[in-house]
Amino acid sequence: MPVFRWPNSLDPWAGLRQMQRELERLMGRGLPEARSIGGGVYPPVNVLNGNDDLLVQCEVAGVKREDLEISITGDTLMIRGRKVPNVDEEKVRFQRRERGTGDFSRTVVLPDKVDPDKVVANLKNGILSIRLPKSEAAKPRQIRVG
C-alpha cells in the first residue's frame, strides 16, 4: 500500500509519530510505519521535475538488476520487477518475515514529454534512478521581449 510520507523536517506530527512507534514497539504490535519506507511488493516512487529532465526514483531494495524491466509508452513510464526471496523457501525455517516477495509493477504518468531514446536508468544501493531528458518541445524556453 502506498503511503505518503512527509519529509521529516516538514512533518508537524513527527514527534507524535515517534511516540506512537515506540508504544507500538513496546506493545509488540509490529511495525506499521516501516511499511512506508520499504518492503512490500508495491515500491514507492518519487517523481521530480527538473529544467531539462525528469528524475524518477524508485525504492527496490533487494531487487536484482536483471529482475527489473523499464518501459515507456507515450508519456507513461512502467517499472516492472520481481522481488525474489534470497533463499530456498522450502529448505529454511522463517522466524520473521516483514519484507514482501513477488512481482510488482508501477506506472507513472510523466508530467512532460520525454525523449525515450535518451533515458538512463541506474541502480545503486537498492534505489533505482531513471533520468528522462525532456523532448525539445517540452523544455522551457525563454522568450525575449523585443
Instruction: Give contact residues for other proteins (rule: CB under 8 A).
Output: 2, 4-5, 7-8, 14-15, 18, 21, 25, 31, 33-39, 44-51, 55, 57, 59-64, 86-87, 91-99, 108, 111, 123-127
- The distance of closest approach from Cβ of residue 26 to other proteins in the complex, given in angstroms and rounded to an integer, is 13
- The distance of closest approach from Cβ of residue 145 to other proteins in the complex, given in angstroms and rounded to an integer, is 25
Nearer to other proteins, 97 or 118 (CB): 97
Query: Pairing relation of β-strands 76-83 and 102-109?
Result: antiparallel
> In whole angstroms, what is the distance from residue 41 CA to residue 100 CA?
6
If residue 17 lies in a helix (H) or strand (E), which one and from where to where? helix 14-26
Nearer to other proteins, 87 or 145 (CB): 87
Three-state SS at 57: strand
Residue reference for cell 512481482: 103
- The distance of closest approach from Cβ of residue 117 to other proteins in the complex, given in angstroms and rounded to an integer, is 22
- The distance of closest approach from Cβ of residue 143 to other proteins in the complex, given in angstroms and rounded to an integer, is 21
> In whole angstroms, what is the distance from residue 91 CA to residue 54 CA?
44
Q: Which amino acid is at 45?
A: V
